[in-house]
Every structure is written in structure tokens, then in C-alpha cells.
Amino acid sequence: MKLWTKETVDKEIEAFTIGDDAELDMLMAEYDVIGSLAHIQMLKSIGILSPEELEVLTAALKEIQKEIQTGDFEIQEGVEDIHSQVELKITERYGEVGKKIHTGRSRNDQVLVDIRLFLREEVKVISQDVGQLAEALLLRSEQHSKDLMPGYTHMQVAMLSSFGLWFGAYAESLADDLILMKSAYDVINQNPLGSAAGYGSSFPINRSLTTQLLGFNDLAYNSIHAQMGRGKTELVASFALAGLASTINKLASDICTYSGQNFGFFEVDTRFTTGSSIMPHKRNPDVLELMRAKCNQVMSIPNEIMLLTSNLPVGYHRDFQLLKEKLYPALSTVKRMAHILTEVINSIEVNPSVLDDPIYDNLYTTEAINALVVQGVAFRDAYHTVATQVKTNVFDRNIAGIQYSHEGSIGNLCTDKIRRKLTERVL
């Protein structure tokens, strides 16, 4: 069944045009029903459906919704998409009244509302998952606030850092990622239903009612603009995912590096590693390496979406169908990574004695310079004094005091302030 007619349909061409759409549509199945439930209530409010017809269609849709929730619903072979399948089921079971469900809307705005309802929920869930990951990082930051570790620039031993500072840095980075996530949510959370094929409907439909029923924050008022949201909505969501993936990528890379034998800053649980076929001593961070690579894939998606949608004039184009193939798997990937990474963070065993190794003696040079400055020595003179000590191998790290008090330093992690940011930004 299709919501459009044509004398003949070539099977090979049909398979090419449908592609994986049916499988991906199942992710939106329940949202298609939810959108239709709001639509038929609106149709009844303007006199298109009778109270009796509304009752039948509501019962039919809720019946299908339960089948979707229990896994007993599928898109049958030969049925083009979820929208066609739902209408077909209702018509098969309840007769001619099922044919009225599509009144006053196009498949275009039906797809739009399904996508926005689906993405709205997905972005909300991801935001909450990210909040949990960030909270795990903050707890570890507080737990290891006094445990020092080396800080690096250019991959060279640089200055004192702490495990508390390191954990907290990624928590605050995730807090910034949630700003993009919230912005994407706000763009998504506008109702396109009623825009029909992009030019409205001659029926006196009540778009404000469906906006209220579907819990949208506002309308996408201009009907052409609502249709132009296809592609733009996915692009905005992909930018939010890419920002998050950038943070996860760097965190995974740090964990891979710092848990290696050459660094030995901490260990992760063995369940997140694999072994070698010939080297029994090895523990390979495969989970984190794959996470790092998957993040790179997620970060490529905005560019893929832009390439798929560039140079398209206003209106619907079948090119948009391919957007689901790019974006939807990424949503699942990001959720899975957030869950696993939270477990990784909770499993980390910190080495509090890492700085006992003499290779880190020069971490304290800046502290020594600052100590001389406090005693009245000009900074440049203090710098040259300590540089000479290092060059002649007489620098003593024990003469340096450690005094950090400003916001965001190893002596003042501000985890409470970062936690406030998270609380404000998690959806």
C-alpha cells in the first residue's frame, strides 16, 4: 500500500527508492501513532470527523500503539513506510473510517512531525545520559581532588595537575556540549503538522490545538518554513552530537594514553580491555579505541548532511530520505558510548604515587619560579635562575611550595559551580 497512486511500479526501482526506510521507520512508529492521535482530535474539533469516528480511530491507533510497544507490529512487504502501514492496518480492521485519517495532511508534514517527535525524545535522553556521565566525572574529581598528576603541553611534561582537575575538566566540557544539545532541542520542539506539502491546507485546521496536544513548545508557523525544516532539523541535531562526540573522543584518547604502561596514571577495569593472541601481558583498550573511532564517524555526519541537502530548492525532495541513514544510527551510538564511558569512569583506579618518579621532577619548576617571585625576585630573573638549575642538574623540586587558590585550579576545583551548570542544562 502507498499513500499515492501510479499505474505500475517496477520492483527493482521500488526497492531502490525505499532502501532501508522501512527498517528506520520502525524507530518512529510510535511517534507516527502519537501524531495521528493528535491529528484526528483536531479533525473532530473542526467537524471533519464525527465523535463516533474519532472514538473508532482513537481505539484503533491505541491498539496499534500497544502492538508497537510489545514488538508485535511490523511494516509488511510491499508497504512503503510506517505511515502507509498504520493507515492500512486501521482500514483493514475498521473499514472505510480508516481512509479518513489522512484528511488535512500530507505525508510530508506527517514525516516532519514524526521526525521531530522522535528527535525530541532522543535528544532529551542523550542529554540526561550526558548529565549522568558528567556527574560521574565530578564525583571522581571530588574523590581525587588532592591526588596530583602531571600536566602536559605538546605531549611534554609541563606543570602540576591533579586527577581532580582532569576529571572535572571533562565534566565541564560536557556541560558546554549540553548548551548545543539544548539549542537543538529548542529548534526541534516546534510543530510542523498542518503545513501539508509545504503550502498549507484549504481545510480550517487548528494547528495550535495539535501543538498543544503534542507538547510542542511552539509552532513552525510559516508552512514553507516548516517544510524547510527537513534537513535543517537533522543538521542542527547532528551538530549537537558532533560537539558531544568531540569531547568523548578526547576523553577516550586520554584514557587510552594514561592507562598505558609508559604512563601508568591509572588502570581501567579489565572488562573494558582485550588481550593479545601471543603476548599474555597485554591489555588492549579496544573499547575506548572503538569509541574514539566512532566519535570520528559521528563528527563527520554534519558534513554528510550538508552535502546531501546543499543546492536543493525549497520544497520536499526524495534526497531527504537518506538523512535517516546517517543520523539515526548515530543517536544509538552516542547513547551507548555515554553509558559505557560512565562505567569506565567509575572503574578507574588512580595511581596517587605517579609523581614519585624522578622523570616528573621538572614539573615543579614553575612553582619554584613563583616562590622566588613571592620573595621579591623579578619574574624574568627568577625564570633564568631556575632554568640554570635545571640545565646544571641541581634543581631541587622539594624547595618549591604548592599554592593554588584561584577558581578552576588544583586547589579550587569549583565542582559545585560546574554541577550547577549541569543542573541548568540537562533537559
Q: Compute how many other C-beta atoms are within 10 angstroms of the C-beta atom of residue 325.
A: 15
- Cell 542542527 locates to 236
Please give the DSSP secondary-structure letter assigned to residue 312: P
Bridge partners, residue 219, by sequence? 191
154 catalytic residue (yes or no): yes
- Please state, in angstroms and as integers, the Cα–Cα distance from residue 405 to each residue in 53, 81, 151, 189, following that order: 70, 61, 17, 43
Could you say which of 50, 183, 208, 276 is catalytic? 276
Residue 396: is it exposed, middle or buried by C-beta count within 10 angstroms (0-12/13-18/19+)? Answer: exposed
Identify which of 210, 182, 234 has the alpha carbon closest to the alpha carbon of residue 110.
210
Instruction: Give the gyration radius of the chain's Cα atoms.
Output: 29
276 catalytic residue (yes or no): yes
H/E run at residue 150: strand 148-153
In degrees, to the nearest 5, what angle opens at C-alpha 321 toward C-alphas 304 and 10?
Answer: 130
HEC states along 191-253?
A: ECCCCCCCCCCCCCCCHHHHHHHCCCCEECCCHHHHHHHHHHHHHHHHHHHHHHHHHHHHHHH
CA distance 389 to 408: 30
Could you say which of 154, 277, 310, 405 is catalytic? 154
Report phi then psi at 412, rounded to 5. -155, 80
In degrees, to the nearest 5, what angle opens at C-alpha 25 toward C-alphas 24 and 31?
Answer: 130
Q: Are 299 and 246 in contact (CB under 8 A)?
A: yes
Q: Please identify every residue annotated as catalytic.
A: 154, 276
